[in-house]
A and B are shown apart, each in its own frame.
Chain A
């Protein structure tokens, strides 16, 4: 069953028929498992992996992203959860994690330019109660994201027919 999820994680557009062909499981079983997962939230969503730098090359519309480390004063009862949830609700924020290390919460923020992101950090993030400080790392280039390489793939060097 795990195999079906791994296959979908690699290519969400695979049809149940294709997955059945690959795994040897009946189509009906795959369809109903996927439906279950969609209902229970194991599968949250299907989406495309977009290389926004490439889009920017074509359209000139830049997208800037940054990792922001946030140091948070924990509260009795909720720890970091309430602050982290609050940060998560902003649409500019693409990812939020509680992490070990120097700071407590690490998030990813996107914006149209550096100023927008800086503004967001200064006005929205830093001003949340119990946020004690932030460190912003702007992303200069993406090489790999969530298992997908953003480097140009190498050509197939194989001879067309080989023994």
Chain B
């Protein structure tokens, strides 16, 4: 029994070296994984006043009131129990109907759809279910910070392949195919992308599916930003010819419905994969939060207008912000989705880490250095435009002043 006192509780890190030697080493894979590069910026920015943060990867809107109200109602009526492992049947029905209507892809609510605690859990489940130790997963970079650590935690080896801002961060099938080895098991990517905002064209995605077919690979498609597509319509990877049988589709409510803290999302996949995903989920998570699942039911049944208004607002900010970035001299690939711009800062002569840190200290604007998202992110910064318009304009002014001062 450990009793807490006012002096810090001894932890492994604070023990003397002699004591530390006596303890068996912790998990080597986790210990080898560097902490997220975003974390350091969070610590600095958190201590400063008057910071305009463009570093936030979540909506500035709070969850629409009707959804919050449904959550409150669920609490009032005592929906505080476990649900079935796969999640509320009503919610699975709604998700499958929504995917059919929006994306033209048919999943069975019973057996092919699992409610997860956000896409993060879905990603972890997909990797655990697909990978054997040493299996390789091709991950186009720049990419979401969790992709490669999650591959490693699941016993796999991430194999990054580069994409470039010069062509809008297109994922080229040839580049991916060139990285395939005997150990390759899957390709993991997200479109629209965090951090670049890039939306892959239907043709490029089709080519990627063909690579998967040729080499018998799985596709893990992170489509958390599917509703936040501003140029054209979203292409759901599962809807492409030949894709569905080898694709794990991940989606959720965090971004378009502004529900990050509710932790609710879904995994859709062919029966054998979904079956095993439920097996891991039932032992590790049991079920996604019940109240959040009921809130998600409300989100799908009646929050369409709220979502449309938020999406329209993001699009307006996107246009204004990207135009502004270009006007102050930063080259910026057109971000067709999500709520990020990923401009190049090479013109400044600084590397992205120095740029972000100096910008924060000189002008109190927080952005995330692009190299945090993989080597090809070097020379770029991630700016989230999920920020009120006047603040975005002020941030652009401050960035212009910073660039002038260099």
Contacts and interface: CB of A to CB of B under 8 A. Distances in A.
**Most central of A7, A158, A161 by chain B CB within 10 Å:** A161
B319 interface: yes
B16 to A, nearest CB: 34
A161 B55 contact: yes
Contacts of A159: 42, 46, 56
A23 B316 contact: yes
B46 A163 contact: no
A101 interface: no
A24 B319 contact: yes
A24 B315 CA distance: 10
A21 B53 CA distance: 21
Interface in A140-163: 154, 156, 158-163
Interface stretch (B57-65, B133-141, B241-249): B57-65
Contacts of A42: none
A3 B38 CA distance: 36
Given A161-B55, A161-B56, A162-B58, A22 B42 contact: no
Contacts of B57: 162-163
B323 interface: yes
Contacts of B317: 22
B48 to A, nearest CB: 8
B56 A160 contact: yes
A160 B45 contact: yes
Interface in A108-163: 154, 156, 158-163
Contacts of B402: none
A18 interface: yes
Contacts of A22: 316-317, 319-320
B14 to A, nearest CB: 26
Interface residues of B, number: 28
Contacts of B146: 163
Contact of A161 (B53, B194, B319, B320): B53
Given A160-B51, A160-B53, A162-B58, A23 B36 contact: no
A7 B309 CA distance: 12
B324 interface: yes
B300 interface: no
B72 interface: no
Contacts of B194: 163
Nearest to A11: B389
Contacts of B53: 158, 160-161
A154 B62 CA distance: 9
B36 A163 contact: yes
Contacts of A24: 319
A154 B145 CA distance: 30
B144 interface: yes
A150 to B, nearest CB: 16
Nearest to A159: B42
Nearest to A22: B316
A29 to B, nearest CB: 15
Contact of A21 (B60, B62, B324): B324
B208 interface: no
A23 B53 CA distance: 24
B145 A156 contact: no
Interface in B20-47: 36, 38-39, 41-42, 45-46
A24 B319 CA distance: 7
B46 A18 contact: no
Given A21-B324, A154-B62, A160 B319 contact: no
Interface of B: 36, 38-39, 41-42, 45-46, 51, 53, 55-58, 60, 62, 144-146, 194, 312, 316-317, 319-320, 323-324, 366, 368
Given A160-B45, A160-B46, 14 more contacts: A18-B320, A22-B320, A23-B319, A156-B60, A159-B42, A159-B46, A159-B56, A160-B55, A160-B366, A161-B53, A162-B38, A162-B57, A163-B36, A163-B57
Closest 5 CB pairs of A and B: A22-B316, A161-B55, A21-B320, A161-B42, A160-B45
11 contacts: A3-B312, A21-B324, A22-B317, A23-B316, A23-B319, A161-B45, A161-B56, A162-B57, A163-B144, A163-B145, A163-B194
